[in-house]
Amino acid sequence: MRIGGLASGIDTETMIKDLMNAERIPLDKLHQDRTKLEWKRDAFRDVNKMLADFDRNLIFNMKLSNTFNTKIISSTQENAVRATGNAGANSGTYRIEVKQLATSAINVGDPSKMNINSEDTLDPSMGPIEFSTYNKDGEKIDHSYEIQSGDKLSDVIKRINGDVDSPVRLTYDENANTVILEATRTGQYNKDGQEIEFEEGSFFTQLGLTQSAESGAQNAEFKYNGAYEVSTQDNHYQLNGVTFQFLNKTEGEATLNVTNDIDHTVDKIKEFIEAYNEIVDKITESQREQVFRDFPPLTDEQKSDMTEREIELWEEKAKSGMLKGEVALSSGLTSMRSSWYSAVKNDGAFTSLTEIGISTSADYLDGGKLVIDEERLREALADDPDSVQKLFSNNAEGEGRGLINRLEDAVEGTISQINQRAGKATSVSLDGYALGKRMEDINSRIENFERRLEQVESRYWKQFSEMERAISMMNQQSNMLMSNFFPAQGQ
């Protein structure tokens, strides 16, 4: 602990503190400069996150066929036949007559021939449980399950049903003491006999099952457009990108209409343009914000004398204009705007946005935002959705490159420029980007300055200590002289 002023009566500690406050003014300026760089870096990264999200989600979606060619399919007999369509499905009308549904093979045991008590422990010698089924090509596939020590009927049933590769399902009805064996898939795979084959005298026989009792396996049968007869093992079938789902037999023919889901496409385009305009707004605003040079970052000491609201208002002005004049943003925005202007040479009906009802705002204050004439957009999508898709996402180089592909190039180029200036959110080292290098330099200067301040403070204390010693010596000499000239009374 340093205690001064004993000889001089001067408040040495306060005086040195005031002197050091003056010495620290350049250090406060360095801290403020570093804070401004951190703010600038964070503001850059906010823009970059917005661009990356836009690229990863909205731009990606605009390159998908489903964005432009999602289908709506209606059926005159929804309870009997429905359909879904992929992006390549042909629009038009389809007539479907479902004559029968595909069903699964089923074999119901005879409880009078049941030789196994469901609560008894099974003898492993009763196994293995063996049976055969058939694959799509009509080839015989053998299956085998062991009976383990301590197994009951319920354990065996769980083992077979729990096997994801098992093509059969076993059910035991306690009320009727009956076992049911059924295929887990619909359709007929063995044209010459049963779908599930097992030997007489096998484990299944002891459950009251006989192979000849199997029934139910049949294919779905339907007629397509009044002429094409189809038999399929499943209750669904795909033609021309349309997947038909059979629920019941139809009453005569059901009519299904396949059309493009224009509402879906318009919503996707609106969502994309809204996100694009938000980016334009953010970057444009960053270049127009006023810079308040009289509002530097606050020091800790300044903050201690202010309310939270005062600090908030101050920093709002201090951060204003943080990205103003940054070329990475202004050139990036120019590049994004330019993506829309040149015609896209392709074999479709449209070569520019204006032809499908999308244009740049005429208000210069909007900064190049896009506006939609929804009626014209819907007309273009109704007339030729494939050409609209080619306009946006034609996968070519040069003049044939789609508008979205061009925009993607511009966005990713801007992201790269910002990364060079402000680094990525995952950046650990400061020396990997321009602002980081400047922060590193300031950090080094702060460290050097703080060491110098320690030396200055030590020098002040040394100087005041020497002054105190000198004053103390003078006081001693003065006391000696006084005692010589004015000896104590009584001597």
**What is the DSSP track for 73-96?**
EEETTTTTEEEEE-TTPPPEEEEE
pLDDT tens for each residue of the chain, 491 residues long:
455 554 455 666 777 777 767 777 777 888 888 999 999 999 999 999 999 999 999 999 999 989 998 999 999 999 999 999 988 888 899 999 999 999 999 999 999 999 888 888 998 888 799 999 999 999 999 999 999 999 999 999 999 999 999 999 999 999 999 999 999 999 999 988 999 999 998 999 999 999 999 999 999 999 999 999 999 999 999 998 999 999 999 999 999 999 999 999 999 999 999 999 999 999 999 999 999 999 999 988 899 999 999 999 999 999 999 999 999 999 999 999 999 999 999 888 999 999 999 999 988 888 899 999 999 999 999 999 999 999 999 988 899 999 999 999 999 999 999 999 999 888 878 888 899 999 899 888 888 878 887 777 777 777 777 776 777 677 677 777 777 676 655 44
Residue 88 lies in a domain: yes
Residue 231 phi/psi, 5° resolution? -120, 125
Residue 115 lies in a domain: yes
Q: How is residue 337 written in tokens?
A: 């705007």
Residue 81 lies in a domain: yes
Instruction: Tell which residue, 301, 212, 427, has the closest CA to residue 32.
Output: 301
For residue 455, CA distances in Å to 18, 110, 461 come to 16, 102, 10
**Is residue 155 within 8 Å of residue 189, measured between CB atoms?**
no
Non-local CB neighbours of 48 within 8 Å, separated by 6+ positions: 415, 418, 419, 422, 424, 425
**Is residue 136 within 8 Å of residue 291, measured between CB atoms?**
no
One domain, residues 57 and 79: no
Q: What is the pLDDT of residue 101?
A: 98
Q: What is the pLDDT of residue 186?
A: 97
One domain, residues 354 and 404: yes
Q: What is the pLDDT of residue 350?
A: 93
DSSP secondary structure, 11-78, as one string? -HHHHHHHHHHHHTHHHHHHHHHHHHHHHHHHHHHHHHHHHHHIIIIIIHHTTSHHHHH-EEEEETTT
One domain, residues 186 and 225: no
For residue 278, CA distances in Å to 90, 418, 455 come to 36, 18, 53
Q: Burial-class residue 454 by CB neighbours within 10 Å (0-12, 13-18, 19+).
A: exposed
CA angle 51, 53, 54 (to 5 degrees): 60
Residue 16 lies in a domain: yes
**Is residue 317 within 8 Å of residue 85, measured between CB atoms?**
no
Check residue 147 and report its DSSP letter. P
One domain, residues 153 and 271: no
Q: How is residue 370 written in tokens?
A: 């896009």
Question: How big, in percent rounded to 5, are the helix, strand and coil portions of the chain?
Answer: 50, 15, 35
Q: What is the pLDDT of residue 9?
A: 55
Residue 298 lies in a domain: no
For residue 356, CA distances in Å to 331, 345, 456 come to 27, 15, 73
Output the CA torsion 159→161→167→171 (10° steps). Answer: 120
Model pTM score: 0.74
Residue 207 lies in a domain: yes
Residue 451 lies in a domain: no
One domain, residues 50 and 121: no
Q: What is the pLDDT of residue 148?
A: 92
In angstroms, the CA 211 to CA 107 distance is: 8
Instruction: Tell which residue, 49, 27, 131, has the closest CA to residue 426.
Output: 49
One domain, residues 238 and 353: no
User: Could you count the other beta carbons within 10 Å of the beta carbon of residue 109?
Assistant: 25
In angstroms, the CA 254 to CA 96 distance is: 5
Query: Helices 262-288 and 327-338 sit at what angle, rounded to 10 degrees?
Result: 150
CA atoms within 13 A on the CB side of 24: 15
Non-local CB neighbours of 37 within 8 Å, separated by 6+ positions: 435, 438, 439, 442
Residue 308 lies in a domain: no
Q: What is the pLDDT of residue 211?
A: 93
User: Could you count the other beta carbons within 10 Å of the beta carbon of residue 123?
Assistant: 10
Q: What is the pLDDT of residue 491?
A: 47
**Is residue 50 within 8 Å of residue 278, measured between CB atoms?**
yes
One domain, residues 129 and 205: yes
Q: How is residue 354 written in tokens?
A: 């204006």
Strands 140-145 and 242-246 come out as unpaired
Check residue 145 and report its DSSP letter. E
User: Could you count the other beta carbons within 10 Å of the beta carbon of residue 414?
Assistant: 24
Name the 3-class secondary structure at 411.
helix
One domain, residues 157 and 234: no
**Is residue 374 within 8 Å of residue 357, measured between CB atoms?**
yes
Strand partners, 93: 257
One domain, residues 40 and 87: no
Number of domains observed in the structure of the chain: 3
Domain end point (choices 175, 195, 213): 213
Instruction: Tell which residue, 374, 370, 285, has the closest CA to residue 322.
Output: 285
One domain, residues 93 and 234: yes
For residue 396, CA distances in Å to 70, 270, 340 come to 23, 25, 16
Domain carrying residue 194: 106-213
One domain, residues 137 and 81: no
One domain, residues 79 and 121: no
Domain end point (choices 197, 213, 229): 213
In angstroms, the CA 375 to CA 139 distance is: 57
